[in-house]
Amino acid sequence: MKRQIIDKGVHSTFLLIALFSIAALSLIMVFLFIEGIPIFDQITIKEFVFGQYWYPTDDPTAFGILALILGSVYVTILSGMMAIPLGIMTAVYLAEIAPPKVAEIVKPIVELMASIPSVVIGFFGMVIVAPFIQKLFNIPVGLNMFNASLMLAFMAVPTICSISEDAIFSVPVAVKEASFALGATHFETIAKVIIPASLSGICTAIILGLSRAIGETMVVLMAAGGAAMIPGSFFDPVRPLPASIAAEMAEAPFRSEHYHALFAIGIVLFLFTLIFNLFADYLSHKFRQVGEASL
Amino acid sequence: MESNIKMRTENLDFFYRNFQALHHISIEFVQNRVTALIGPSGCGKSTYLRCLNRMNDLIPGITVKGKALLDNQDIYDPSIDVVTLRRRVGMVFQKPNPFPKSIFENIAYGLKVNGVKDKAKITQIVEKSLKQAAIWDEVKYRINESALGLSGGQQQRLCIARALAVDPEVLLMDEPASALDPIATQKIEELIGKLSSKLTIIIVTHNMQQAARVSDRTAFFYMGKLVEINDTDTLFTKPGLKQTEDYITGRFG
Amino acid sequence: MIKKRLFMQKMCFSFLRMAVLINGAALAVILYFILSRGWRAISWEFLTQAPRDSMTAGGILPCIVGTISLCLITTFVALPIGVASAIYLNEYATQGKLVRIIRLGINNLAGVPSIVFGLFGLAFFCIVLKMGVSVAAGGLTLGIMTLPVIIGASEEALKSVPNTYREASLAMGATKWQTIRRVILPVAFPGIITGSILGLSRAAGETAPIMYTGAVFFTPDLPTSIFDEVMALPYHIYVLATAGTNIEATRHLQYGTALVLIVLVLGMNLFAIILRSKMRKKLRI
- For A73-89, the DSSP string reads HHHHHHHHHHHHHHHHH
User: Are A1 and B115 in contact (CB < 8 Å)?
Assistant: no
Q: Among A50-64, A157-171, C24-38, whose mean pLDDT is lowest? A: A50-64
Residue C167 has its nearest CB partner, among B55, B109, B148, at B55
Residue of A nearest to B82 (CA): A4
Region C147-171: mean pLDDT is 94
Q: Tell me, what's the pLDDT at A11? A: 92
Write out the CATH class of domain C44-284: mainly alpha
Query: Which chain B residues contact residue A7 at CB under 8 A?
Result: 83
Query: Please, where are the H alpha helices in chain A?
Result: 2-18, 20-36, 45-50, 66-92, 100-115, 118-124, 130-136, 145-169, 173-181, 186-189, 195-197, 199-215, 218-223, 241-248, 257-286
Is the per-residue pLDDT at B7 higher than 60? yes
Region A195-208: mean pLDDT is 91
Query: pLDDT of A158-195, one tens digit each?
Result: 999 999 999 998 888 888 888 888 888 899 999 888 99
**Three-state secondary structure string covering chain B:** CHHHEEEEEEEEEEEECCEEEEEEEEEEEECCCEEEEECCCCCCHHHHHHHCCCHHHHCCCEEEEEEEEECCEECCCCCCCHHHHHHHEEEECCCCCCCCCEHHHHHHHHHHHCCCCCHHHHHHHHHHHHHHCCCHHHHCCCCCCEHHHCCHHHHHHHHHHHHHHCCCCEEEEECCCCCCCHHHHHHHHHHHHHHCCCCEEEEECCCHHHHHHHCCEEEEEECCEEEEEEEHHHHHHCCCCHHHHHHHCCCCC
Is some CB atom of chain A closer than 8 A to the CB atom of B78? no
Region B109-117: mean pLDDT is 91
Smallest CA–CA separation between C267 and chain A, in Å?
11
User: Are C205 and A20 in contact (CB < 8 Å)?
Assistant: no
Query: How many C-beta atoms lie closer than 10 Å to residue C71's C-beta?
Result: 21
Is the per-residue pLDDT at A62 higher than 70? yes
Smallest CA–CA separation between C164 and chain B, in Å?
6
Q: Tell me, what's the pLDDT at A1? A: 64
Q: Which chains touch A (3 or more CB pairs under 8 A)?
A: B, C
What confidence tier does B253 reach under pLDDT thresholds 50, 70, 90? low
Residue C115 has its nearest CB partner, among A10, A187, A245, at A245
Residue B166 has its nearest CB partner, among C172, C284, C285, at C172
Is some CB atom of chain B closer than 8 A to the CB atom of C282? no
Average pLDDT, chain C: 91
Q: Tell me, what's the pLDDT at A282? A: 86
What confidence tier does A281 reach under pLDDT thresholds 50, 70, 90? confident
Region B47-74: mean pLDDT is 91
Smallest CA–CA separation between B164 and chain A, in Å?
22
Is some CB atom of chain C closer than 8 A to the CB atom of A295? no
Smallest CA–CA separation between C190 and chain A, in Å?
19
Query: pLDDT of B132-143, one tens digit each?
Result: 998 999 999 999
Smallest CA–CA separation between C92 and chain A, in Å?
7
Residue of C nearest to A97 (CA): C13
Smallest CA–CA separation between C61 and chain A, in Å?
19
Question: CA C174, CA C67: separation in Å to the nearest integer?
Answer: 43
Residue of B nearest to C175 (CA): B83
Residue C170 has its nearest CB partner, among B86, B100, B165, at B86
Region C24-31: mean pLDDT is 95
Q: Tell me, what's the pLDDT at C217? A: 86
User: Could you tell me if B135 and B161 are in contact, meaning their C-beta atoms sit under 8 angstroms apart?
Assistant: yes
Q: Where are the domains of chain C?
A: 2-39, 44-284
Q: Where are the domains of chain B?
A: 5-98+168-248
List of residues 6+ apart from A89 with CB closer than 8 A: C15, C16, C19, C20
Residue of B nearest to A1 (CA): B81
Is some CB atom of chain C closer than 8 A to the CB atom of A81? no
User: Could you tell me if A249 and C212 are in contact, meaning their C-beta atoms sit under 8 angstroms apart?
Assistant: yes
Q: Tell me, what's the pLDDT at A214? A: 94
> Could you tell me which residues are beta bridge partners of residue B174?
B204
User: Are A269 and C16 in contact (CB < 8 Å)?
Assistant: no
Query: Which chain A residues contact residue C241 at CB under 8 A?
Result: 123, 126-127, 222
Residue of A nearest to B83 (CA): A4
What residues in chain B have their Cβ under 8 A from chain C's Cβ atoms?
53, 55, 58, 60, 83-88, 90-91, 93, 95, 97-102, 109-110, 112-114, 145-146, 148-149, 159, 162-163, 165-166
Region C234-238: mean pLDDT is 94
Q: Among B221-225, C24-28, C133-137, C276-280, whose mean pLDDT is lowest? A: C276-280
Region A200-219: mean pLDDT is 93
User: Are A1 and B81 in contact (CB < 8 Å)?
Assistant: yes
Percent of the residues in chain B that have a pLDDT greater than 70, as a whole number: 98
Is some CB atom of chain C closer than 8 A to the CB atom of A275? no
Planar angle of CA C197, C199, C204, nearest 5 degrees: 90
Helix (H, G, I), strand (E, B) or coil at C215: strand
Q: Tell me, what's the pLDDT at B1? A: 46
Q: Tell me, what's the pLDDT at A291? A: 43
What DSSP string describes C7-51? HHHHHHHHHHHHHHHHHHHHHHHHHHHHHHHHTTT--HHHHHS-E
What DSSP string describes A110-170? HHHHHHS-HHHHHHHIIIIIHHHHHHHTT-S-SSSHHHHHHHHHHHHHHHHHHHHHHHHHT
Is the per-residue pLDDT at A286 higher than 80? no
Question: CA A53, CA C167: separation in Å to the nearest integer?
Answer: 64
Q: Which chains touch C (3 or more CB pairs under 8 A)?
A: A, B
Residue of B nearest to A5 (CA): B81
Provide the CATH topology of domain A38-286.
MetI-like fold (1.10.3720)
Is the per-residue pLDDT at A289 higher than 60? no
Percent of the residues in chain A that have a pLDDT greater than 90, as a whole number: 65
The CATH architecture assigned to B5-98+168-248 reads 3-Layer(aba) Sandwich (3.40)
Q: Tell me, what's the pLDDT at A290? A: 47
User: Are A4 and B83 in contact (CB < 8 Å)?
Assistant: yes
Smallest CA–CA separation between A192 and chain C, in Å?
13
Is some CB atom of chain B closer than 8 A to the CB atom of C182? yes
CA proximity to C178, closest of A148, B23, B155, B99: B99
Question: CA A150, CA C267: separation in Å to the nearest integer?
Answer: 26
Interface of B with A in 81-120 (CB under 8 A): 81, 83-84, 115
Query: How many C-beta atoms lie closer than 10 Å to residue B69's C-beta?
Result: 18
Query: Which chain B residues contact residue A11 at CB under 8 A?
Result: none
ipTM: 0.92
Torsion of CA A112, A116, A118, A121, to 10 degrees: -90
Average pLDDT, chain A: 90
Smallest CA–CA separation between C280 and chain A, in Å?
19
